[in-house]
Amino acid sequence: MRKVGVLFFLFIFLTLISAKPGDYNNLGGGWTEIGGMASLGDKLYIISGGKLYETTKDGKYKSLGGGWIEIGGMTSLGDKLYIISGGNLYETTKDGKYKSLGRGWIEIGGMASLGDKLYIISGGNLYETTKDGKYKSLGGGWIEIGGMASLGDKLYIISGGNLYETTKDGKYKSLGGGWIEIGGMASLGDKLYIISGGNLYETTKDGKYKSLGRGWIEIGGAASNNDKLYIISGKILYSTETK
């Protein structure tokens, strides 16, 4: 028995040290009708079937309440979640309590947090939004949005198949095109991770990219937590290695 135990732990150790970027681990299925996915603290928060779930990094979850419909966007800022549901922007605590910060948020293209502000694409315009719901436009022309994420002190937006680096005042530059069939986009460390055409790409801040593997289909959401990506693909939640 002692020899078997030693061999088992040796196998686990070798598995861990041989993990490479793109490797993934199945954390369980049943994630349907995904409205949003975000990371806050050491937990993931997922809207599935109209309910908000708090989810641990090993896939265990509990419901924080229902009624979340017509989700336009979801992100975290500080110790709160911010969710656009039914055209309203809600500030939501980690236990599911919420309050409205205002309505009229329609045709949502993307939502992300940067610094102490929210950034929302609504009706083709990019808005800077404070935590109390006050907003100002940073410019229009944002169409066919594939993804939006923050990294460092910049926003990164896929619009019309192009990846743009965008400053907090709305100035932007293209980092290259060809980004099609976007399933998800998240930042982790100093990289962006984009699911495009079924491939997971690691992308630098200047737009250079490499594939970490394909087969990512029916994407429900993507978010980062600590040193891993979490992706819902085919109704299953996966943790994914990035280094």
CA distances from 174 to 31, 39, 108, 138, 159 (A): 34, 27, 21, 17, 10
Contact 230, 239 (CB under 8 A): yes
Mean pLDDT calculated for residue range 12-21: 57
Q: In angstroms, rounded to a whole number, what is the distance separating the alpha carbons of residues 15 and 215? A: 22
Q: What is the pLDDT of residues 176-201, one digit of tens each?
A: 999 999 999 999 999 999 999 999 99
Q: What is the pLDDT of residues 25-48, one digit of tens each?
A: 999 999 999 999 999 999 999 999
Neighbours of 30 (CB within 10 A): 10
pTM here is 0.90
The per-residue pLDDT for 21 is 87
Tell me if the domain spanning 24-241 has CATH number 2.130.10.10. yes
The per-residue pLDDT for 148 is 98
Three-state secondary-structure class, residue 119: strand
